[in-house]
Structure 1
Amino acid sequence: MRMKLACGVAFAALMIPAAALAQSTGSIEAEEGDAIVVTGSRGPASVDGIQVPDTPKARAVLTQELIERRAPGQTILDTINLIPGVSFTNSDAYGGSGGQIRIRGFDGNRIALTFDGIPLNDSGNYAIYSNQQLDPELIEQVNVNFGSADVDSPTAAASGGTVNYRSITPTDTMSAIGVYSHGTNNMNRAFGLLNLGTLTSSGTKAWVSASTQKYNQFRGPGTIYKQQYNGKVYQPIGSNGDFVAVAAHYNQNRSYFYSNPTYANIRARLTGVNSTLPTNATGTTASAANPYTLDLNNSDFDYVFDDTSSTYRYDYNCDLQSNPGGAGSQTDRNSCNNIYATAFNPSNTGNVRINSRFGLTEKLLFTFDGAYSFTRANGGGSTLLAETDANASPITGTNTNGTYTQQYRPITGTFGRLGAGTATGVDLNGDGDRADFVRVYFPSNTRTQRFTAIAGLRYQFNDDNLVRIAYTWDRARHRQTGEAQLLGNDGRPLSPFSALDGKGASPVLDAAGNVFQKRNRLSYAILHQVSAEYRGGFFDNTFKVALGIRAPFFRRNLNNYCYTIAGQSSDAYCTSQTPAQVAALDASSTAITLGAPYTNRIKTYNEVLPNVGFTYNYTPAISMFGSYSKGLSLPRTDNLYGFDDVSISPVSATQPEKTDSFDLGLRYTDRLIQAQVAGWYVGFKNRIISSTVLLEGGGTLSVDRNVGNVKSHGVDASVAVKPLRWFSLYGFGSYTIARLQQDATDPLSGRVLVPTAGKFVVETPKWQYGGRAQIDFDPISVGIQAKHTGDRWISDINDLKSAGYTLVDLDARLGLGFAGLNRTFLQLNVSNLLKERYFGNLSTVANAFPYTIGGTTTNAAGPRVTFGAPRTFIGSIHFEF
C-alpha cells in the first residue's frame, strides 16, 4: 500500500524490520503498508517516545525514547501505566517483586503478553509475571492492543487484549553501554550492552548483554535479587529487507514476598485510633448496601505500616523446635511458620527466538517466527506434618493440630499417607520417635518447556491490496509437582526448588521411601491455528480496511498421577497406599470424594474469531478509526484438575469466555500534536469465576463455572504536544464502566450463592488520568509525570473498596559532554515523589463483610491489601562508548 503522510507512526517500524507496531514478523510486514510518517520532510515520529499509530485497532505505542527514562531495571508493564485504560500496580519501586495489571477491567490472566511475537503467559493459569521481563534498555518499543489480538496471535487468553514488546536490533558499528544504578533500600544494579557491529562481509551483526540487580524490601526482611543475560544475532539477506534474527534470553529471580495486612489486621491495629472504621469487630455496619471505603489518613497509614510485630510482618529469624529433636514430642506448630525465608519466589526462565522474512517473489513474502521457552519456578511456602498419621488433623471438623489438611487421619485399621499404608508414620527428624510435629518446605514446583512457531505468507496484489495467511502452532509441556523438603535449623529452605524429583537435599520420604508431595501432574497445552487477513486501500488510499479471521484449535492433554481431591485444583492426594486402602478411606464417613489417577484426559476448545477494522482520513491530519473483534479466553489448565470427569464432575462443563469488542474513535496528528479519543464497548460472555457449590448427598465442590455476562464500556483519550524543540506535554484519561450482569448461582438448585448482578468488576478503577511534561535544555533534561488511579472494589459484592491515589514520578538527566564525555550522562529517578500513602495490589474476595441471602449467612472473608512503595530515589551513571 502507499504510505500516507501524517504524524503518528513508529519511525523505527520503517527503518528496522524487527521493530514495528505488531507482534509477529508477519503482522509487522502487513502493517508496514499502513504505516504513516510525519507530514513534511522533518519532524518527530513521536512525542518523546509516545506514539499514536494510524491503525484500525485501538492501539498505543511507547518507544525506547520514553522507556529509558523510567527507573533502571523497571518492568515494562509499569511503563505502560501511562497508556489510557491500563492499570498496573507495582509491588515495589523497582519491579522485581511483580505486580498486577488490568486493561479496561480485564485482569492479567485475560491479557496476552508477547516478546518478539512469542507468548509469555503461564501455560497453566495464563498469569503474567511482570518481574521476569526483558531489561528495559533492550526494548525497542511496546504496544498495547485493546480488546483484540493479531490474527496470528498464539494465545489462549486474549479477551482483554494484548501487550507486545520487541527487542532492539544490533547496530552496524561497534559500541558499548554500561549503566550503574544505586537507590533507596540499598538497591544496586549494573547493566552492560556490547554491540559487536558488522562481523562479516554479508552484514552479520550482533549484541550481547548482562545485568544484575539486588535490593532490600522496603518493609520487613527479605531481598530481591535478579540477574539476566541476553544476546541477538541479525543476518540481513539481500537488499530488500529480508533477514534472519536469532536471539536468546535467560532471567533468574530470587525474591521474597512482602507481608501485608488483611482488612481485619488494619482494623485491629487502628482500634480506638480511627473512628471512621466500621464500629464493631465484625464490620457488620458495612455491607453491599452500605459499602466502606478503605481510606486511611497519613498518620493512620504510617501507624499501620510501622507495626513491627509478626501480625503482618515476617520474622527474620526462627528456631525450628524439631531440629535436632530428642526424646518426647517436639512441635513446630508455632515455630518458623512466619519466617520470610519460606515466603520465597524463585524462578529461572529463558527462551531462544527466531524471527525471519524472505521475499519469494516481488509480490510474495514468507515470514517465520519460532521459539523454545522454558520455566522453572515455585511460590515457596511451608506446612506442618505429624510424624504419626493418627496425630494429623482430621479430614472434617476442627483443624486442632494445625497440620497439613490433606495428610488426613486414616480410618480404623488402615495407615495414612506418611505411613504409606504399611506403618503408623515416619520419624522425619531422625530423633528416634514418631511423636513430633515437623515443619517442612512445601512449594508448588512448575517446569514448562514450550515450542512456538508462526509461519505466514503475504501476497501484495498492488500498492493498495494485500492478503496474508498464517499457521500458528504452540505446544507447552507443563510439569507440576509439590515435593516436601526438610528445613534447616533456622527454618530456611535447603534449596530453592525443594526436593525436585526427589533429587534435592533432605527430601521428606514416606514409609515406602517415596517423596511426600501434594501434586504430581503433567499437562500439554497445544494450539493449532489458521488465520487469514485482507488489507485494502480505497479512494486514493484515504479509506483503509482490514478484514481478518482466526480459527484456533486448542487441546489440553491432562495427566494426574495422584488422586483428585474434589474441588482442589492446586492440591491432590499423592500416596503410596494401595488402591484398596484409598478406596476404604474414600468410603469412610469422614472422607471426601477422591478420583483415581488418570492419563490422557483430553479437553478441546475450538472457535472462529473474526476481526474487522477501518481508518478514514478526512485530511492528512484528521482520521477516524473503528474496529470489531471477537476475543477468547479458555478455562485455565490448572483449574481443570479440580475434577476428573469420572467420579468427580461439575454439573456442566465450563465454557470459554468470549468477548465482542467495539472501538470507534478520532485521531488528530500533525507536526505539533498527536491526539486520540476513542469510545469502546465490550460484551463479555461466559465469565469464569471459582465458586463453591453443594453436592448431592452433602459436601461441597469448588469449581470454575460461568456466571454469565459482563458489560463494559468507556472512553480513552490522550494528547501529546511538542510545540517547542525543548518542551513536550502529554495528557491522558480513561473512564471505565464494567459490571457483572448476573448472580453466581448453584448449578444444581439455582440458588444464588453470591449476589453479583449489577456489581462493578473488582480492581478496576472507574477513573484514571494523568500526564507527563518534559523539558530539554542541553545538558539538562527533566521529566515529571503523574497518574491518578481511582477507587477500586476489593470484593465481588462491592461492600469494600480501596480509595484512589495519585503517584508522581520524576526523572532528570545531566549530560557530561562539557567534561569531554559526549555519550555519558547522570540520571536521577524519584518514584512517588510526593510520598503518597496508598494500597497497591489487592487480594480480592467475594465479600468482605457478612451477608445473608436465602436465609443463609456468609461469613466475612479476609481480603489482603498491599502497601504501596514509599518515595524512592535512584541515581544512575550511563556510559556509552
Structure 2
Amino acid sequence: MRSKLLTSVAFAAVMLPASAYAQSTGSTDVEEIVVTGSVGPADTNGIQLPETPKAKAVITQELIERRTPGQTVFDTINLIPSVSFTNADAYGASGGNIRIRGFDGARISATFDGLPTNDSGNYALYPSQVLDAELIEQVNVNFGATDVDSPTASAAGGTVNYRSLMPKDELGAAAAYSHGTNDMNRAFGVIHTGEVGPWGTKAWVAASTQSYDQFRGPGKIKRWQLNGKIYQPLGGNDFISVAGHYNRARNSFYNNPSLANIRTIVGTSVIPTTGTVANPIVVDLTDAQWDAVFNDQSTAFRSVPSCVLPSANVPAGNGTVQDDRTNALCGSLATTAINPSNTGNARFNSRFSLSDKLTLTIDGGYQYTKATGGGSTVLSERNAGAFGIAPSSQTSGLINYQYNRVGAGIAAGADLNGDGDAVDYVRLYTPSITRTARLTAIVGLRYDISDEHLVRLAYTWDRARHRQTGEASNLQGTGQPFNPFGAVYGEDYEVTDAAGNVLMKRNRLSYAILHQISGEYRGKFFDEALNVAIGVRAPFFRRNLNNYCYTIPSNSSEAYCTGETAAQVAANATTATYGAPYQNRIKSYKAVLPNIGLTYHFAPKVSAFASYSKGFSAPRTENLYGFDDVKINPSIDVLPEKTDSYDLGLRYTSGMIQAQLAGWYIKYNNRIITTIIELEGGAGNINADRNVGEVQTKGVDFSLGVQPVRGVSLYGFVSYTDSELKENAGGLLTAGKFVVETPEWQFGGRAQLSFDPVSVGVQAKHTGDRFVTDVNDIVSKGYTVVDLDARLSLSFAGLRKTYLQVNVSNLLNEKYFGNLTTAGSVTSGTPRFTFGAPRTVIGSIRFEF
C-alpha cells in the first residue's frame, strides 16, 4: 500500500522537498522526503496547490518571470484566492497595500529566506523593498495561519514567505534590459559560478537598476539592488548557505485626491456630501469624470516640481520678515513628498544531520533599514509667533505644538535661516526618520522516531533596535532638501534652537525582543492515508520604550522636544499636560498558540484537509507612544489581538487538473483600533489604541487549473469573503458592518499558450466593491484589470536562451481607484483614493549564457 501511495501524483506532492511550502529551514526540512521517481506537484504554469493540512498557495519562478520586469512579487500573488493587492503604479517600486482574508498588511507576517521583514515597530509591509523577482525561487502564502516556528509577533492574518534562488551547478550568466511607458528603464544581471573547488561550492551574484517617471504629476522613482548567495553542500541534504541583499530606493509619493477633491470636480450629484449605511456614497466615476479628476492641474492633489522659498538666500542682517507661508506651492512639493530608503540584510541558512534520526537546522540574519517619510513644515523664529495651531489652519500655517521650543527656554526665539534676524517664518524639511538594526536566530531540532512519526523543537530569538527621530534641516531655495535623509547625521544644514540643540519633532529609541519556543509532532496513519500535524508555539514578546521628549497626549507620531527645563514646560498651561521624558518603559506580551492539521487521501487523486490554528499580534510601538503610563494613562490596557482560524477543504490533483475548494472561518478577538479613550480618574480623553472586541470573517475559495493539451494551460479562481465587525467602536455604530478595504467578491484567471517560438499569457482579476469607512457609508466601486505578456524565443536564430518579451499592464485601460485611505465615517475623516495606473507597455530582451 505504501508504494502505491508514493507513486500517486497527489501523494507525491506532500512528500516533495518542502522548500516550496515553508519558510524556515526547519519547516522546510520537516517535510523533505526524497521520493525516487516522483513526478512532482501539480503545476499550472507556476501556480501550485500543495497537499498540506493548512490552506496554502505557491507561486513559482515560472509565473514570476512572466510578470512586468521589476514588479514586486506581492503583485504576482494577487492571482490567488482571498488575496487583494493594490499597486501604487505599474512597476512596483512605489509600494502598495495587501489584504488576505480581510486582514491588512500589518497583520500579515512576511519572511525572506526565513527572516521577518515586517517593520519591527508598526508591522508594516513594504512591497517595494523585496528581492528582485528574477531571484525569487518561489513565494508561498499561508491563509490565516503560520508555520509552527514562524518568527513573528504580528501574524494574526497569515503569512507570505519567499525564498531566494538556488545557485546553479553550471557556470552561466543572464542579463536583461527593459524599457517602457513613463520612460521606464531597467537593467538586470546575474552570474552563477557553478560548482567550484573540491567541495562543490556554488554561488551567484546579481545587480539591477531601475528608474521611471511617475504616471501622474512630477516625481522620479529610482531603485537599485545588489544581491548574492553562496551555497555549500555538506553531503546528503545537509548544507550551509550565506546570502546578502541591499536595496536603495529614492521615490516620490503620488499625490492623490480626497473624497472632497473628487466632489469639487464632478459635483455633488455624483459624490453627495452625506451618506448613510442604507444609501452610501458610491465612488463610481464614468471615464470622462475619472479623466477630469486625473487631469486636474490644481495643487490640491497634484505636486509641483519646485517653488521659491522667501526665507532662502536672504542677505545677512536683512531684518525684514521673510514669510514662507506666502508661497503655498512649497507645501505641495514633489521634492519633499519623498520616501527614500536604504535596506539590507545578511542571511544564514543551514542543515546538519547529527545522526540518522536527529537533524539540526540553524537560520539567522542581520537586517538594517534607514528610511524617511519626507515632509516639510513652517516654524516661527519667535516664540511669540508660535500659536500652536495646526499647519492646516489659515490663521497661522505653523507646525503644530511649536510653543517655546525654538527659544529653548533661554531666548525669545532663534535665527533658523541664517539671515541674522529672528523674525521670519521658515519652512524646514522635517521628515520622520527611522533606523532599524535587527538580529534574528531560529534553531530547530528534528527527531525521526520512525518513517511514519517525528517530533521537532525550535527556538526563535529576534531583537530589533528601532531608532526614530525627526531632525529639522534647511531647504534649498527651490524647496528641495539638501539630503533626502535630512540632518540625521548632523550635517551642516541642520537647524538648531537658541541653545544649539537640533530641532526635532520626535526622539525615541525602542527595542522589540521576541523569545519563542515551539514544538510539533507529525505522524502518518492508515497506510499513510492520514497525515497529522500537531504543534504549539509560545511567543514571549517585549517592547522596551525610551522617549527623550515630552509625550503629547494622543499623538504617537510627534513629541514635544525642547531645551526648556521641566519647570518652564510646566509653566505653560498646554505643555504642562505633556508626559515627561522616560527610559526603560517595558511592555510585555505572551501567548500559547496551538495548531493542528489533518490531510486524508480518499483516493490517489482526492484528498481532504482540515486545520485549526491560533494567531497573535502584539500592540505596535507607535501606538504605545501616545501615552506614558504615568501622567497620560488610559483607563484600559491594550491587549494583544488573537485569532482562531479554521479551514476545511477538498483537493483533486492529477496530471491534467488541480482543483481546490476550501471553506474557512476566522474569529478575531481584541481587534485594535485608534479611538478616544478616557484617562484614569476622569481627567479627560485622549486618542489612543483600544480593543474593540470581535470580528468574524468567513468565506469560500475555489481554484481550478487545467492543462488539457501540451502548451495550453488554463487557471481560474473565485473567492467570497464576509468580514463583519461585531461591536461598536470609537463612538461609531460599527456593529454588523463590513471591514474596510476588503472586497466581498474576487475572481479571475490566466490562460497561457506556449508553442515555440511564441508564448502568450493573458490574465484578469476582478476586485469587488470595497467599503472606505468603518460605518460603511462610502463605497469604492469594483474594477477589473487585464494584463498581457508575450514572449518570442530567438532560438530559431541560434540564440537558444535569448528571448524578447512584451508586457502590457492594464491592457484595457481600466479607470479605477486602487489603494484606499480609510476613515471612520464620511464626517470623521478624510479618505483618499489612489489612481490605478493607466495602460503601461514594457518591452524587454533577455540573454542567458
Q: Equivalent residue for 2:838?
A: 870
Deviations 1:511-546 (A, max 9, x none): 110100011111000000000000000001000100
Tell me the CA shift for residue 43 of structure 1: 7.6
Q: Return closer, same or farther for 1:220/1:36 CA change in 2, 3 Å cut-off.
A: farther
What is the distance in 1 between the residues matched to 2:593 and 2:35? Answer: 28
**Alignment pair present for 1:524 and 2:505:** no
Q: Equivalent residue for 2:471?
A: 483
Tell me the CA shift for residue 398 of structure 1: 6.5
Structure 2: unaligned runs, 5 residues or longer: none
**Alignment pair present for 1:331 and 2:315:** no
Counterpart secondary structure, 1:565: coil
Q: Equivalent residue for 1:376?
A: 370
Deviations 1:161-190 (A, max 9, x none): 000000011111100010100000000000
What is the distance in 2 between the residues matched to 1:401 and 1:41? Answer: 73
Q: CA RMSD in A?
A: 1.8
Match of 1:154 among 141, 147, 151: 151
Tell me the CA shift for residue 698 of structure 1: 6.4
Q: Equivalent residue for 1:535?
A: 522
Counterpart secondary structure, 1:266: helix
Q: Equivalent residue for 2:557?
A: 570
Instruction: Answer whether contact 1:550 1:608 (CA < 8 A) is retained.
Output: yes
The amino acid that maps onto 2:433 is N
Q: Equivalent residue for 2:445?
A: 457
Instruction: Answer whether contact 1:343 1:381 (CA < 8 A) is retained.
Output: yes
What is the distance in 2 between the residues matched to 1:91 and 1:310? Answer: 20
Match of 1:724 among 706, 709, 712: 709
Identity %: 61
Match of 2:780 among 802, 805, 826: 802
What is the distance in 2 between the residues matched to 1:438 and 1:719? Answer: 61
Q: Equivalent residue for 1:853?
A: none
What is the distance in 1 between the residues matched to 2:622 and 2:803? Answer: 48
Counterpart secondary structure, 1:299: helix
What is the distance in 2 between the residues matched to 1:45 and 1:764? Answer: 30
Q: Equivalent residue for 1:276?
A: 270
What is the distance in 2 between the residues matched to 1:440 and 1:507? Answer: 10
Tell me the CA shift for residue 757 of structure 1: 0.6
Instruction: Answer whether contact 2:508 2:548 (CA < 8 A) is retained.
Output: yes
Q: Equivalent residue for 1:880?
A: 848
Q: Equivalent residue for 1:775?
A: 753
Instruction: Answer whether contact 2:9 2:38 (CA < 8 A) is retained.
Output: no
Q: Return closer, same or farther for 1:93/1:500 CA change in 2, 3 Å cut-off.
A: same
What is the distance in 2 between the residues matched to 1:5 and 1:688? Answer: 49
**Which 10-residue stretch deviates more, 637-646 or 610-619?**
637-646
Q: Return closer, same or farther for 1:8/1:402 CA change in 2, 3 Å cut-off.
A: farther
Instruction: Answer whether contact 2:634 2:677 (CA < 8 A) is retained.
Output: no
**Alignment pair present for 1:257 and 2:257:** no
Q: Equivalent residue for 1:223?
A: 220
Tell me the CA shift for residue 276 of structure 1: 3.2
Counterpart secondary structure, 2:625: helix
Instruction: Answer whether contact 2:767 2:782 (CA < 8 A) is retained.
Output: yes
Q: Return closer, same or farther for 1:343/1:7 CA change in 2, 3 Å cut-off.
A: farther
**TM-score of the aligned structures, taking structure 1 as reference length:** 0.93
Tell me the CA shift for residue 311 of structure 1: 1.7
Instruction: Answer whether contact 1:221 1:314 (CA < 8 A) is retained.
Output: yes
Instruction: Answer whether contact 1:393 1:402 (CA < 8 A) is retained.
Output: no
What is the distance in 2 between the residues matched to 1:78 and 1:522? Answer: 34
Instruction: Answer whether contact 2:42 2:653 (CA < 8 A) is retained.
Output: no
- Superposed, 1:400-479 pairs within 5 Å as 400-408=395-403, 416-479=404-467
Q: Equivalent residue for 1:557?
A: 544
Match of 2:566 among 566, 579, 582: 579
Instruction: Answer whether contact 1:484 1:498 (CA < 8 A) is retained.
Output: yes
Counterpart secondary structure, 1:500: coil
What is the distance in 1 between the residues matched to 2:830 and 2:248? Answer: 33
The amino acid that maps onto 2:395 is T
Instruction: Answer whether contact 1:449 1:476 (CA < 8 A) is retained.
Output: yes
**Alignment pair present for 1:93 and 2:77:** no
Q: Equivalent residue for 1:245?
A: 241
Q: Equivalent residue for 1:545?
A: 532
Q: Equivalent residue for 1:649?
A: 633
The amino acid that maps onto 1:106 is F
**Alignment pair present for 1:603 and 2:587:** yes
- Superposed, 1:698-847 pairs within 5 Å as 699-745=684-730, 753-847=731-825
Q: Equivalent residue for 1:345?
A: 339
Instruction: Answer whether contact 2:516 2:539 (CA < 8 A) is retained.
Output: yes
Instruction: Answer whether contact 2:82 2:101 (CA < 8 A) is retained.
Output: yes
Q: Equivalent residue for 2:132?
A: 135
What is the distance in 2 between the residues matched to 1:665 and 1:125? Answer: 33
Tell me the CA shift for residue 337 of structure 1: 0.9
What is the distance in 2 between the residues matched to 1:305 and 1:566? Answer: 38
Q: Return closer, same or farther for 1:639/1:5 CA change in 2, 3 Å cut-off.
A: farther
Counterpart secondary structure, 1:618: strand
What is the distance in 2 between the residues matched to 1:43 and 1:56? Answer: 18
Q: Equivalent residue for 1:413?
A: none
Q: Equivalent residue for 2:388?
A: 394
**Alignment pair present for 1:505 and 2:492:** yes
What is the distance in 1 between the residues matched to 2:112 and 2:719? Answer: 26
Match of 1:681 among 643, 662, 665: 665
**Which 10-residue stretch deviates more, 522-531 or 397-406?**
397-406
Structure 1: unaligned runs, 5 residues or longer: 409-415, 746-752, 851-859
Deviations 1:765-818 (A, max 9, x none): 000000000000100000000000000000011000100000000000000011
Q: Return closer, same or farther for 1:8/1:594 CA change in 2, 3 Å cut-off.
A: farther
Q: Return closer, same or farther for 1:13/1:193 CA change in 2, 3 Å cut-off.
A: farther
The amino acid that maps onto 1:432 is G
Tell me the CA shift for residue 151 of structure 1: 1.0
Q: Equivalent residue for 1:360?
A: 354
Q: Return closer, same or farther for 1:801/1:572 CA change in 2, 3 Å cut-off.
A: same
Tell me the CA shift for residue 692 of structure 1: 2.2
Q: Return closer, same or farther for 1:5/1:717 CA change in 2, 3 Å cut-off.
A: farther
Instruction: Answer whether contact 1:711 1:739 (CA < 8 A) is retained.
Output: yes
Instruction: Answer whether contact 1:7 1:36 (CA < 8 A) is retained.
Output: no
What is the distance in 2 between the residues matched to 1:45 and 1:793? Answer: 37
The amino acid that maps onto 2:252 is Y
**Alignment pair present for 1:622 and 2:606:** yes
Deviations 1:121-165 (A, max 9, x none): 000100000000000000000000011111111111101000000
Q: Return closer, same or farther for 1:351/1:13 CA change in 2, 3 Å cut-off.
A: farther
Q: Equivalent residue for 1:306?
A: 295
State the aligned residue count.
840
Tell me the CA shift for residue 333 of structure 1: 1.1
**Which 10-residue stretch deviates more, 787-796 or 391-400?**
391-400
Tell me the CA shift for residue 547 of structure 1: 0.1
Q: Equivalent residue for 1:412?
A: none
What is the distance in 2 between the residues matched to 1:97 and 1:790? Answer: 23
**TM-score of the aligned structures, taking structure 2 as reference length:** 0.97
Q: Return closer, same or farther for 1:488/1:395 CA change in 2, 3 Å cut-off.
A: closer
Q: Return closer, same or farther for 1:102/1:6 CA change in 2, 3 Å cut-off.
A: farther
Tell me the CA shift for residue 570 of structure 1: 0.8
Counterpart secondary structure, 1:124: coil
What is the distance in 1 between the residues matched to 2:492 and 2:476? Answer: 11
Counterpart secondary structure, 1:462: coil
Instruction: Answer whether contact 1:214 1:225 (CA < 8 A) is retained.
Output: yes
Instruction: Answer whether contact 2:14 2:31 (CA < 8 A) is retained.
Output: no
